[in-house]
């Protein structure tokens, strides 16, 4: 992969110097995981940062016997940075939702790179703050109707990881339980709302290709903004 393609694929590296990009490409290790495979395990010590080159993963936490999906990440995003920055065991695990291709950089080398490139360090802080803001938005939505919560999740996934197509914006056909967890609603509500959105032609589910077509993201955005 060329450095320009690398920086375009991963927003984290937009401001990194050419030397930093070349260094990261030279030390990054590529991994392929099938759907359903655990990529990182909860309570394991952080030894690397992972970057999603293609595919979709979910971040989840175990709460007793229950497993709750906290986030869904797609191409261009990263995970594993928290455990290496505060030098503590991971508080979540990560599972491949689809076949996924990842790049990893060891914890020690990634920390060294952050110290050497102030622009990369600043960009990392910006993206972490952005994640915190997204968490705050989800907190603000906690008392909103379920349809608004789910629309917000679909719009977020479409805007951050969606691929333009003739049908609108395409995202992975995320399991209903994971959509429900991330949206903080129950799976029965999720099923009913998805059916209503399909009836309105705001989205189409293509089970054969494991794709959700967001046919009318403008209307979904309007629904999500009714806070």
CA distance 137 to 150: 13
DSSP assignment letter at 41: -
The CATH number of the domain where 172 resides is what? Answer: 1.10.10.10
pLDDT digits (tens, 9 = 90+) for 50-84: 999 999 999 998 877 788 999 999 999 998 887 67
Summarize pLDDT for 181-210 with one digit per residue, the tens. 999 999 999 999 999 999 999 999 999 999
Predicted local distance difference test score (pLDDT) of residue 140: 85
Torsion of CA 174, 175, 180, 181, to 10 degrees: -90
- 35: confidence class by pLDDT, cuts 50, 70, 90: very high
**What pLDDT, on a 0 to 100 scale, did the predictor assign at position 121?**
87
Q: Does pLDDT of 17 surpass 70? A: yes
Whole-model pTM? 0.90
Same domain, 45 and 113: yes
Q: Are residues 165 and 76 in the same domain?
A: no
- Domain total of the chain: 2
Looking at the fold, whether 102 and 198 belong to one and the same domain comes out as: no
Q: Are the C-beta atoms of 10 and 104 separated by less than 8 Å?
A: no
Which pLDDT tens digit goes with each residue over 87-105? Answer: 665 667 899 999 999 999 9
Q: What is the pLDDT of residue 3?
A: 78
DSSP code, position 94: E
The answer to whether residue 85 scores a pLDDT higher than 80 is: no
**Quick one: pLDDT band at residue 42, thresholds 50, 70, 90?**
low
pLDDT value of position 77 = 94
Regarding predicted confidence, which is higher, 161 or 43?
161
CATH number of the structural domain spanning residue 101: 2.60.120.10
Boundaries of domain holding 191: 144-224
Tell me how far apart the 2 most distant CA atoms of the chain are, in Å.
53
| CB within 8 Å of 84: residues ≥ 6 apart | 46, 47, 48, 49, 107, 110, 111
Burial class (CB within 10 angstroms; exposed 0-12, middle 13-18, buried 19+) of 226: exposed
């Amino acid at each position: 992969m060329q450095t320009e393609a690398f920086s375009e694929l991963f927003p984290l590296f937009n401001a990194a110097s050419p030397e930093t990009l070349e260094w990261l490409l030279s030390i990054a290790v590529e991994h392929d995981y099938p759907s359903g495979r655990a990529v990182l395990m909860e309570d394991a010590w952080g030894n690397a940062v992972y970057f999603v080159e293609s595919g979709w993963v979910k971040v989840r936490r175990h709460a007793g016997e229950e497993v709750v999906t906290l986030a869904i990440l797609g191409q261009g995003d990263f995970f594993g940075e928290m455990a290496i920055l505060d030098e503590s065991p991971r508080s979540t695990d990560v599972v491949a939702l689809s076949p996924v291709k990842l790049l990893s950089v060891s914890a020690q080398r990634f920390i060294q790179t952050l110290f050497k490139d102030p622009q990369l360090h600043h960009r990392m802080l910006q993206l972490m703050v952005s994640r915190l803001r997204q968490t705050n938005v989800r907190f603000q939505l906690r008392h909103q109707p379920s349809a608004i919560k789910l629309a917000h999740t679909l719009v977020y996934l479409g805007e951050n990881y969606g691929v333009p197509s003739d049908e609108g914006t395409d995202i992975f056909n995320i399991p209903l339980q994971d959509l429900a967890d991330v949206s903080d609603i129950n799976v029965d509500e999720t099923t009913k709302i998805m059916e209503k959105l399909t009836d309105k032609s705001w989205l189409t589910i293509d089970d054969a290709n494991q794709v959700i077509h967001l046919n009318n993201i403008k209307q979904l955005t309007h629904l999500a903004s009714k806070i």
